Amino acid sequence: MGRKKIIAATGCPTGIAHTFMAAEALKKAAANLDVDIKVETHGQVGIENGLTEQDIREADGVIVAADKDVNTDRFHGKRLVEVPVARGIRAPKDLISQILNEEASVHYVSGYTKDNQKESPNSAGKETSSTNSGSNKKWLHTIYKDLMNGVSHMLPFVVGGGVLIALSFLFGIYSSDPNHEQYNQFAALLNKIGGLSFSLMVPILAAFIAESISKRPGMVVGFIGGLLANQGGAGFLGGIIAGFLAGYLIILLQKLLKNMPKSLDGLKSIFLYPVLGIFLIGAIMTPILVPVTGLNEGMMAFLASVQSSNPLLLGIIVGMMSGFDMGGPFNKAAYVTGTALLSEGNLYFMAGVSAACIAPPLIIAFATVFFRKYFTKDERNAGMINFILGSTHITEGAIPFAAKNPVVVIPIIMLGSSIAAIMTYMFGVQVPAPHGGFLVLPVVTGAIQWVFSILAGSIIAAVIYGLYRKKIAKNIPVEE
């Protein structure tokens, strides 16, 4: 009997760290279990090491560790384990064992033939979801995955646009105003292009939430719903609502039109779904724009008021959320809120979120330097890498250290992140870009104070973490 063969797909919203950490963890676990594995990664640059039809056909099972849409329809008829990307990092051996022990359910998708993974002629996408239904936990993960699919595609627009707008301010606050003495033609161009990129944030978010739910027909309808939300003032919150509405509207239309002759499948995808979908999303979104806009404005005003009146409380909340799961749902909730406020012109909130996200890997890095002899050689090497990861806003570098004793290490990281966020808010730092770490320092207002805040939180927590490692080293000597 030959070696078992497993295929996998990993993906996270930002597509920078979690995606590849999960892929590496799965490969190592497979090697230890004497299993062949091929892992497809869905990073920010796109799909790498893509799975072929032959790979899928020959596989004994599939592992999907992702917080974004990776198209599970193609795995029809295969045993499938579908989990958040963080689980792929923490428990790869368990995921592989579920396939080897045949504990995973077989994945079935309507619209695919029984004997292979070929899609049916219906180019509009899947008619119904997989019959491999799960618990409430799985349902919540599906909702989270759909939302993060939107966030993942939206981020490059926000980062690119935000940095260009910030660069235009280097020529002067009013450098894009042709009627002001500070006017600079190049700065005005930067501001215009950046503003255009930023203005697409909500439509792109809504489009790709819907795309995750109902493929291409949903994307079209979601984009229009997002445009309506953006123009109506419903902002980020309206975009989320529009995305989910659009996705499930298409699912409903697919069910209502499923008895049409197969010969008209092309007509459905190119005519009926976009025409009916766009009309329906417009008809539904128009009356709900007013209350959603009011809710959106109220939420933004509340956060802005807390930011100015109680930076201590806000810093603690943001720091704890960002440091708790380092790239997971709590971290992303804070991050997405910061991104939403950026679109409203609030550059203060994101500064605290960024500080809290940069701190965790720096905490680890400084601890491995200050308390060198209490860490193994591999840990010290990983610590050096964490200086780079932290400086570029990649929080996930701290995860392997936290995973060894999360009950102790995670609270220490949350403390350091909270200190960094609190000081950032107290200094009134403004950060115009939602990613990039210290690479965006030239466009940060209060850059010196921001760096000081991050280093203060990181070093304080690093000393506490180092003292903890020193204490446990008395009972368990460190092996080189």
Q: What is the pLDDT of residue 474?
A: 74
Residue 458: per-residue pLDDT: 96
Give bridge partners of residue 7 from the DSSP assignment: 38, 62
Give long-range contacts, CB 8 A cutoff, 24+ apart: 50-58: 51/7, 51/9, 53/117, 55/7, 56/7, 56/117, 57/116, 57/117, 58/5
Which residue's entry shows tokens 């780079």? 388
Of 262, 219, 421, 244, whose CA–CA distance to 334 is shortest? 421
pLDDT in tens, the chain (480 residues): 568 899 999 988 766 677 888 899 999 999 999 999 999 998 877 889 999 999 999 999 999 998 888 888 899 889 999 988 888 888 899 999 999 998 888 888 766 554 444 444 344 444 434 434 445 567 777 888 888 888 888 878 877 887 787 788 778 767 888 888 888 899 899 889 988 988 898 899 999 999 999 888 899 999 999 999 988 888 778 888 999 999 999 999 999 988 888 777 778 888 899 999 999 999 999 999 989 888 877 877 777 777 777 888 889 988 998 888 776 667 777 877 787 777 777 788 889 999 999 999 999 999 999 998 888 888 888 888 889 888 888 777 787 788 778 889 999 999 999 999 999 999 989 888 777 788 888 878 899 999 999 999 999 999 999 999 988 877 665 555
pLDDT of residue 276: 94
Please give the pLDDT value at position 8: 94
Q: How far apart are CA 336 and CA 236, in angstroms?
A: 9
pTM over 0.85: no
Query: Are the C-beta atoms of 399 and 363 separated by less than 8 Å?
Result: no
Query: Can you read off the two tokens belonging to residue 473?
Result: 């080293």
Q: What pLDDT shows up at residue 63?
A: 95
Buried b (16+ CB within 10 A) or exposed e, 401-433: bbeeeeeebbbbbbbbbbbbbbbbbebebbbbb
**Rounded to an integer, what is the distance from CA 313 to the centroid of its chain?**
25
Report the alpha-carbon angle 209-215-217, nearest 5: 100
Q: What ranges in 371-446 are assigned the alpha helix state H?
A: 377-391, 399-404, 406-427
Q: What is the pLDDT of residue 431?
A: 86
What domains, with CATH codes, occur in the chain? 5-116 (3.40.50.2300), 138-304 (no CATH), 310-473 (no CATH)
pLDDT digits (tens, 9 = 90+) for 414-450: 999 999 999 999 998 988 877 778 888 887 889 999 9
Active site residues: 12
Predicted local distance difference test score (pLDDT) of residue 116 = 47
